[in-house]
Amino acid sequence: MLKIGVLVSGRGSNLQAIIDSIEAGKVNAKIEIVVSDNPKALALERCRKHGIPYTTIEQKNHSSRKAFEEAIVKVLKEKGVELVVLAGFMRILSGHFLKHFPNRVINIHPSLIPAFQGLHAQEQAVKFGAKFSGCTVHIVDESVDAGPVIVQAVVPVLPEDTGETLAERILKWEHKILPQTIQWFAENRIKIDGRKVIVEGAKYGELPVNPALEIF
C-alpha cells in the first residue's frame, strides 16, 4: 500500500477523484495526510466527510518560505509519505522541499505542457486559439509546470469554448490520469531517465490518453 500525501489549496475535485478511486479499490494507496495552505479550502470538507487526516499550514504563519516548506516536509515525513501529490496546490515548491522527495512529487496541470504553463491554462488555450488542449501529470522539478511528463490526455477546443467550458472538459480527464498515475507508482512501474518517464508495461500510442488508462 503506497503512502501518499496530497497538497491542496482549493476545491479539491482531484483529491475527491483520488479518494473515490481508493475507495473503489482501483488505487492501492492510502492518503496518510492532506495538507492545505488555505484553511477555507473546500478540499478539507471532503477530508472530513471521508475521515481522512488533514492539516492546514499557512505560509503567512511562517517567517520564510523555507520555514513554511520545512513545516510541510515535517508533517509528510512524520506520516511516512512515499509520494507527494500536488492536486490544485497553488504554491511553487523550492528545490529545498523537492530534495526531501526526489522524483516523488507529482502535479496535475490543465494543459499539454509545455504549452500554457502557470495560471489559467485553459483560458490561455482558448485565447491562443489552440485546437487541442488537455492535461498532464508530471514529475515536479524546480521549473514551473515543466517537469518530466508521465501521462497526458488530449481534448478538442471548440469554437464556442470559454476558459470555463474547456476547463470542465479537461477536468474529467484530470480525474482519471491523476489516480491512474498514483496506481502506477503503487505498482512501482514508473521509470525515470532524465526527462524521459516510462510506465513499464503500459500501452503507448493511443488517443486520447498516452500511455493508455488501465483502471478506468
Among all residues, which ones are annotated catalytic?
Answer: 109
Whether 124 contacts 111, CB under 8 Å: yes
Whether 186 contacts 214, CB under 8 Å: no
Tell me whether residue 8 or residue 73 sits nearer to ligand GRF (CB atom).
Answer: 8
Residue 177 CB, shortest distance to ligand GRF, in Å, is: 10
Q: Between 13-23 and 42-50, two packed helices, what is the crossing angle to 10 degrees?
A: 20
For 164, the grid coordinates are: 470555463
What is the per-residue DSSP string for 142-191?
A: SSSS-SPEEEEEEEE--TT--HHHHHHHHHHHHHHHHHHHHHHHHTT-EE
Tell me whether residue 108 or residue 199 sits nearer to ligand GRF (CB atom).
Answer: 108
Which residue from 130, 131, 133, 121 is spatially nearest to 163, judged by alpha carbons?
121
Residue 159: asked if its preceding bond is cis (omega within 30°), the reply is: no
Tell me whether residue 3 or residue 11 sits nearer to ligand GRF (CB atom).
Answer: 11
CA distances for 98 relative to 85, 139, 164, 173, angstroms: 12, 10, 32, 26
Residue 200 CB, shortest distance to ligand GRF, in Å, is: 25
Nearest-CB residue to ligand GRF? 88
Q: Which helix (H) or strand (E) holds 10?
A: none
- Going through 112-148 in order, the beta strands assigned E by DSSP cover 132-139
Footprint on this chain of ligand GRF (rule: CB under 6 A): 10-14, 87-88, 108-110, 174
Tell me whether residue 177 or residue 186 sits nearer to ligand GRF (CB atom).
Answer: 177
Residue 87 CB, shortest distance to ligand GRF, in Å, is: 5
Residue 86 CB, shortest distance to ligand GRF, in Å, is: 7
Tell me whether residue 148 or residue 187 sits nearer to ligand GRF (CB atom).
Answer: 148
Residue 89 CB, shortest distance to ligand GRF, in Å, is: 7
